[in-house]
Amino acid sequence: MMDFVIGVLTACAGALGFAFLFRVDLKYIPWATIGGGVSWAVYLLVFEFLPNVFVSALACAAAATVYSEILAYICRTPATVFLMPSLIPMVPGGSLYYTMSNLIMKDYSAAAVKGVETAEVMLGASGGVVAASLVIYAIRHIGKKSIR
């Protein structure tokens, strides 16, 4: 439980740093920071019950996208203001580093394992953003058609 809390808090810290780096408006920084914690909490919870990095990254990115779209609607600002900092905690920097390190040391089997893990996270993240965005777009489109 303590690892979960520490993980979520460090994800918030990472999202906060990148919110400043991306020059997010000061009034939106707390929401962007919370988005990083929420997305990482989803990742950890899904990984706890289904230890698969692809599925966890997919769920994490979908949750971050839904969170960002809801806040974008409420705050009347683009969703990317919240989405980019929310996705930062799941960037596979460590596995990418070990992939490259193992390649340099000519340990190709270890590099392949880490390379596949890196690819799974990135494909899961992009798939989650696309899937959630399509669902949200469809809901909005259907809502506009029913009003007419």
Nearest CA to 18 out of 29, 7, 5, 27 is that of: 29
Q: How far apart are CA 101 and CA 73, in angstroms?
A: 43
pLDDT at 103: 96
Average pLDDT of the chain is: 93
Contacts of 67-76 with C-beta under 8 Å, sequence gap 24+, read: 67/35, 67/38, 67/39, 68/35, 69/132, 69/133, 69/136, 71/28, 71/31, 71/35, 75/28, 75/31
Q: How far apart are CA 69 and CA 77, in angstroms?
A: 9
Tokens of 90: 């799941």
pLDDT for 10-52, tens place per residue?
999 999 999 999 999 999 999 999 999 999 999 999 999 999 9
Q: Domains of the chain: which residue ranges?
A: 2-147
pLDDT at 1: 85
Q: How far apart are CA 81 and CA 140, in angstroms?
A: 20
pLDDT at 141: 84
pLDDT for 55-108, tens place per residue?
999 999 999 999 999 999 999 999 999 999 999 998 888 999 999 999 999 999
